[in-house]
Structure 1
């Protein structure tokens, strides 16, 4: 057995870690497993040398495809190729190494078509495309090992399910296949291992001692006692520039692309002499630009890069000394992942500096520091039998040599997501790919798979085969709706566009504000929202913007612990001591939330009667909770509510008084009949239709067009809406409709977390306070609602006036 690792590590003056040796021994014994270790600890070489030790022979000719290396990102694929190539060159091993992603050139694809490299680095989508080739089984005949990098990034989404199915196929062809997952931030390792390898299968290897992560916080010069959300954080610009100046190389993470653009320009305006040595990186930039930034950062040519989640994953940037996080990272795992971009080498500490964009984020910063120290990492769960992915997989298997249903079913059930797939669901999926199911039998485009004379199911139409290959994948982009005035002719003057997720939560007749106008929704049709002017003074407008990145349960719990300590006069960290003036006003005028209490505040103003409730469950849950309470309350007495939500709580505003002391202690917060009440309180039908558009694309019901003649987003979305209506009317039992409804409840509304929140707060003591004026916790919710009705200039004036009045009251 050649000892490639010993030679190469000695040449690098490195000593292997115990966990690396453990992985090498496990692979030598033919075992699969999951390696969990900190970022920069040496995970890549643990698995790479395990493969080389086991399968590479010096002096032999180049081997056919032996190792598959799966990565969730193209940028990570290129970086992985550079890391794996170095030992091959130094040891002069006759292994070829290749990339196969959406960025791979046609010439390289053609070369791989003739002969795949010994090791292929690819993505779940590109692997599935390879499995869709007629000769796939022959091409994978020599495969011995699969490595899934950054498994935590794939496990919780449909891309991970697509990979589960691909691995099930490879295991059927190669029963002795060795499969390993690599992960750095997982809160539920046992589940992650079961999903990847099967229940109870494989070994678990834990890396060296947890990597030291240093978390500190930039403290603002002055504390706003009445902060509000929506800041870009630019008041911290001078301090951030000073931190960048004192570092040799750093990453400045933001949570949105718009924020990244603004911060990059602001830093450049503050230090024009840094032109050429600071850069911008986010997913909307051209690939050539992103590649240049990554290369320059790796070579130590850049002082700072302002970036988004596009640099979250394990690209190896050794020169990066530290990370700055603008605003809350909203989750412990995300913050640790970003921190790990610095000190990316064994033995080096990672340092992340939190930059609060408003005063309340100082409490989040203190909570994050403690949560990282305690390693309170969020768990990630695999999706449960998404049938759109299964339908796509069936057509892929029909292309990749064909399949017999009775042989394929146990293979599909061996994938975790489909472990309890029923016979009826399987027969429905087969019927759907064969003739489109109950309602599409008459349309030839949906007769995608048919059995031949030998009973092997194949794709008989070359055009449909080409169409399917171009549609493989589970990533579907969101869309915007055009906003137009309604006219009898069917459509009037355009007002612009609005986020689709916002309109999806309104019913016809609901009012909302747009561009300073009070509008009423008339109807939604073909990706256009038709509206008319409204004279209503108030509108129930649930905000959803930013809901894709809610505060995690783990970070929220840590935040409430910090507030509970402050309620007892304990301020242990620098961020908490800095924010003490705000918290003391909150405690003096009302109270601070604690792990044992549910804080509620009521206020009478010129606008009406306000309820502020603080469950600390994240924006998504608070939207569902506010809608649920408003709906249940309206059944008790005729009321109309306006609402606003943020990550800490929500506001309900009514024109008449409500005895909240009575209702909040009763059935209003009960988890009983939750499903029916949530569906009734929000426009769940429209939400399901929106979710169905993604399902229709993945399952092959709609096609985006060929290169050079792509269909517009509007055409694709209109087609999926038509299918939704046809199925509802003529095929109500269609399982894709059922899936859309389940995904709305599970993902859009997060009903499981909503139920957990209701159960939790029922066990808390209600701490209800009647206010004379808005508290520091209530003020941001007032601003959230004002955003919907005021222009930015009027909003700024209103906020300034209110803050002035509140500050004077606080001083007294």
Structure 2
């Protein structure tokens, strides 16, 4: 395949690499043929070069006198990744130019430029005057270009490369990008070739449909290059304490002070044991990335590692730095470069380093706490050994015993590359509304049918009905009363006679200044006095902070000099203690596939340990990568649970545990491994059902491992049957219950902002989160009067389809009803070990429950238009639940022609005729066990 390239490209490649990687060999062939192509391969497989080299070859072999214009568009989900790719393109371009010089062939060096949210106005103007051959950008910047005069520079784009496409496919950001790609088709002279680069995913056909979109009502053909061979991984799950069961227990220490000595209550923690072990690993390796699941945890661990290294005399100053999305991009780049140069031995990161940024010579990845998903774990551990064919080495440190349980399953599935399935979103109306305003603003007198055709080319909206689309146009054209809420005023004009759309004044500016899908959390920017950006802080933390106080950000200490309306001014305060920052964010729940795997693992572990504890320990060490202490701790945890409740929750068993808490109230724990997307709707439905049927206000909390209910004092017992929801009534119950939750109110605020209904007054200033909440509550009060209001429908769709896994819950409830999944009930004198884990989450959830904003706890009962909602949700999931053979059996039963359903006497023949209707004598005989004539 290398022989297909021009001489200079061929010479450079053969001199630089011994041979193409599998991803490159298969990818080159498809890309050279001009096919839309999805290349799936693990980190370090050379797939980025597989996409770029063909495009570079086309560029360097064109006529040197041809005017420069953008031909290649590279889209990255991360600005840091875009910056990384820009630097990495220099090597092949310079190398090919030298090869061309040696060969004496004509060569025109492609111009490469990057446009992101950080690009200055001067640089953007320069790109307009002299467009680069290769433009590296982000989804948001592409949207802005398409909604401005810059779109003219994209007319000659013939190749679009989308990196890390798997990170966007299942998100609203992905739907936003997919619409931008279809809008790009309206701008370019010919349809560009699409090349998607993905980590190992399944099903690849779903990602390919998302990448290709539709043409003439059918998916565009996309060639799938599956080079997703398992990357060699060396994994170990490490527990640094003898007994994790002792963690969290109360200890009392005497603390002396100016008055009398006082006993201070503390709880034992695993951190004093984890930190020195990680420090040892850092010293044993050349370069280490440590992943945490939260920004606060990353800051805390980085500070602890630096403090311990200083105390032990290992390092002077900073051995490690924290790296996360709340650090300014410039700060993150400095930290990344220091790690690559060897100035830093380690980085403590969140998902900010999860994607394909080349971190050079990283030879170890440490994951603290379960990554929560197999794909996420593989992505993170894959940061180590980034070179082609190099194995990845990873150590995982669970934080507590139930975390250890999930980690054991994730580790095995990582080795098997048994990742979760991906599904792109269907019909996100808030994203659609934003793009409609932007697109109409750039296309005066746009035909409605032209808009509909463009929208339906996007895979996410391929099946959107005219009724739903027109409902969105109604919203944007001013159908709803702007006198009650100003930002409901029309953004477009819909001429229904001519069938055309045009933008109103200010629509284009509105779309540009409020574009994108990432929710505005009202964060404060942190700046040095000279204007250099350091990062950002949560609004709530800033309100609790005063000038003169110090805090830690990026593992560095900063002193607050001033707090203004939208920024915090700081100066460095090296060596001073500072308080840890905190941020509020969403935590993803356990995917159903992983939940079922955890259940199956528990069942297998109990069966094995009941026969031989040694065999169970060997299984954990050899198959699940646990060290000896981890295996002993996990076995002890499971055995203690069995001793307490007599059974374990698994993929075939749900355990209901009842006990009284410290003040005598009944607690009910529903132990189940299926994950938050299943448990959240179950708990919400239970709250609503118990209130409707029994008049009982029940407090609930859910997590990945079950549900906790707290019964009011007046209720002594609750029948177990009341915990069952009829699967046939589940959707109806949720449609009525979800709009009254704080989740709905919060999601409504975010959806309304994406749909341009909560625009920022000043795009260069932050809008306080409390103001956003208040304004969203006012909008919700108006919208609740209109069952067809699109953003109400979208919020319901998002909750029921994206946040919750309602089909999975319905399936589980159906299996509980049929006894395919058994329900075991047990009363215990105190909370079992598994229940204690759930109760810890309860305390965390309710400790600050009173701080939940009123605007997001207040929600009116909504009368949603069920036909439109059903249209929006689609019927695919219901069809998948209906088995044709089962339907045939039910039909025979309802027709009373199977054994056990036939009429046995004259009364039942009478009932039969009343229920089914008129029947002939033969038809009655078929349905009766008695003589028809006698009957």
TM-score class, shorter-chain normalisation, is 0.7 to 0.9
2:669 aligned counterpart, secondary structure: strand
Q: Deviations over 1:376-430 (max 9, x none)?
A: 2112222221222222212222333443323222121110111122222333333
**Structure 2 matches for 1:322-471, cutoff 5 A?**
322-402=364-444, 403-433=446-476, 435-440=477-482, 446-450=489-493, 457-459=501-503, 461=505, 463-471=506-514
Name the counterpart of 1:225. 245
In structure 2, C-alpha distance between the alignment counterparts of 1:737 and 1:723, rounded to whole Å: 10
Written as runs of structure 1 = structure 2, the 5 A alignment for 1:583-594 is 583-590=638-645, 591-594=647-650
CA deviations over 1:413-448 (Å, ceiling 9, x no partner): 110111122222333333433x32242399798443
Q: Measure, in 2, the Cα distance between the counterparts of 1:298 and 1:384.
A: 41
Pair 299,404 (structure 1): closer, same or farther in 2 beyond 3 Å: farther
Q: Does 1:95 align with 2:105?
A: no
Tell me if 1:201 matches 2:221. Answer: yes
Correspondent of 2:293 among 248, 255, 265: 255
Equivalent residues in 2 for 1:757-768, closer than 5 Å: 757-762=812-817, 763-768=820-825
User: What's the CA shift for 1:672?
Assistant: 2.3
CA–CA distance in structure 1, aligned partners of residues 743 and 641 of structure 2: 37
- Asked if structure 1 preserves the Cα contact closer than 8 Å seen for 2:471 and 2:788, the reply is no
Cα separation, 1, equivalents of 2:750 and 2:95 = 47
1:620 deviation in Å? 4.6
Corresponding residue for residue 350 of structure 2: 308
1:641 aligns with 2:698: yes
Residue 634 (structure 1) shift: 4.9
Query: Aligned Cα RMSD in Å?
Result: 3.1
2:83 is the counterpart of 1:78: yes
Give the alignment partner of residue 609 of structure 1, picking from 659, 662, 666.
666
Query: Are residue 696 (structure 1) and residue 752 (structure 2) matched?
Result: yes
Distance in 2 (alpha carbons) for counterparts of 1:617 and 1:330: 13
Deviations 1:85-127 (CA, angstroms, capped at 9, x unpaired): 2211221252011111111122211111212210111111110
- Deviation of 1:182 after TM superposition, in Å, equals 0.6
Q: 1:276 to 1:685 in 2, by over 3 A?
A: closer
Change beyond 3 A, Cα 1:164–1:444: closer
Change (3 A) 1:467 1:215: same
| Contact in 1 for aligned 2:651/2:673 (Cα 8 Å) | no
Aligned counterparts of 2:743 and 2:454: Cα–Cα separation in 1: 33
Spell out the pairing of 1:696-715 with structure 2 (5 A cutoff).
Answer: 696-708=752-764, 711-715=767-771
Offset from partner CA, 1:340-382 (integer Å, 9 cap, x none): 1111111101122110111222222211111112222112222
Query: For residues 697-747 of structure 1, what are the alpha-carbon distances to aligned partners after superposition, in whole Å with 9 as ceiling and x for unaligned?
Result: 222222212355554344444333333322333x44222222122223234
Provide the C-alpha distance between the structure 1 equivalents of 2:72 and 2:640, rounded to a whole number of angstroms: 61
Greater relative CO (CA pairs within 8 A, separation 6+):
1
Q: Shift of the alpha carbon at 1:80?
A: 1.0
Give yes or no for the alignment of 1:167 onto 2:181: yes
Tell me the equivalent position of 1:740: 795
Q: Does 1:657 find its partner at 2:716?
A: yes
2:527 maps to none
- 1:772 aligned partner: 829
Correspondence for 2:810:
755
Deviations along 1:463-520, one digit per CA (max 9) or x if unpaired, are 443232111211113469xxxxxxxxxxxxxxx9699xxxxxxxxxxxxxxxxxxxxx
Distance in 2 between residues matched to 1:786 and 1:579, nearest whole Å: 24
Instruction: Report the counterpart of residue 678 of structure 1 in structure 2.
Output: 734
Q: Secondary structure at the match of 1:773?
A: coil
Q: CA deviation digits over 1:534-575, x for unaligned, max 9? A: xxxxxxxxxxx9862212223222222222122111331233
Shift in alpha-carbon separation, 1:741–1:318, aligned structure 2, 3 A:
same
2:590 paired residue number: 551
TM-score calculated relative to the size of structure 1: 0.83
Distance 1:768 1:705, change over 3 A: same
Query: Bigger CA drift: 12-21 or 246-255?
Result: 12-21
1:727–1:734 CA contact under 8 A, matched in 2:
yes
CA contact under 8 A between 1:313 and 1:337: conserved in structure 2?
yes
Q: What are the within-5 Å matches in structure 2 for residues 96-175 of structure 1?
A: 96-134=111-149, 136=151, 138-172=152-186, 173-175=188-190
Structure 1 residues 394 and 44, CA, compared in 2 at 3 Å: closer, same or farther? Answer: same
Q: Structure 2 length as normaliser, TM-score?
A: 0.72
The whole-number CA distance in structure 1 between the counterparts of 2:488 and 2:708 is: 50
Is the deviation greater in 201-210 or in 705-714?
705-714
Q: State the alpha-carbon separation in 2 of the partners of residues 566 and 285 from structure 1.
A: 43
Deviation at 1:232, TM superposition (A): 7.3
Matches of 1:86 and 1:234, distance apart in 2: 45
Secondary structure, in 3 states, of the residue corresponding to 2:659? strand
Encode CA deviations 1:256-287: one digit per residue, 9 max, x unaligned: 11111111111111102153341110111122
In 1: Cα distance, 2:138 partner to 2:682 partner: 38
Alignment partners' CA distance in 1, 2:739 and 2:498: 49
- Residue 207 of structure 1 deviates from its aligned partner by 1.6
CA deviation vs aligned residue, 1:603-629 (integer Å, no higher than 9, x gap): 245523332221112235323323433
CA contact (8 A) 1:133 1:401 kept: no
Report the alpha carbon displacement of residue 186 of structure 1 after superposing the two structures with TM.
1.5
Q: Where does residue 56 of structure 1 map in the other structure?
A: 60
* Contact in 2 for aligned 1:547/1:620 (Cα 8 Å): no
Question: What SS class does the counterpart of residue 94 from structure 1 fall into?
Answer: coil
CA distance in 2, matches of 1:63, 1:431: 43
Structure showing greater radius of gyration is: 2
In the aligned structure 2, how far is the partner of 1:564 from the partner of 1:444?
55
- Aligned-partner Cα distance in 2 for 1:768–1:678: 25
**Structure 2 CA distance, aligned partners of 1:211 and 1:701?**
46
Deviations 1:43-84 (A, max 9, x none): 100001121234431772563111100111111110011112
3-state SS in 2 of match to 1:33: strand
Q: Indicate the residue corresponding to 2:680 in structure 1.
A: 623
Equivalent residue in structure 2 for 1:783, among 830, 835, 840: 840
SS in 2 for 1:239: helix
Q: How has the CA–CA distance of structure 1 residues 788 and 350 changed in structure 2, closer, same or farther, with 3 Å as cutoff?
A: closer
C-alpha distance 685-635 of structure 1, shift in aligned 2 (>3 A): closer
C-alpha change, 1:645 and 1:407, in structure 2 (3 Å) is closer
Q: Does 1:475 align with 2:512?
A: no
Give the C-alpha shift of residue 11 in structure 1.
2.5
1:573 match? 620
Q: Is the 8 A contact 1:298 1:316 kept in 2?
A: no
* 2:200 counterpart of 1:185: yes
In the aligned structure 1, how far is the partner of 2:382 from the partner of 2:439?
39
SS in 2 for 1:573: helix
* 380-389 or 616-625: bigger deviation: 616-625
Contact 2:59–2:110, Cα closer than 8 Å, also in 1:
no
CA distance in 2, matches of 1:23, 1:399: 38
Residues 17, 208 of structure 1: 8 Å contact kept: no
Instruction: Note closer, same or farther for the CA distance 1:728–1:653 as it changes in structure 2 (3 Å cut).
Output: closer
Paired residues of 1:280 and 1:306 also in contact (CA < 8 A): yes
1:31 matched to 2:35: yes
Deviates further, 686-695 or 579-588: 686-695
> Aligned with 2:387: secondary structure?
coil
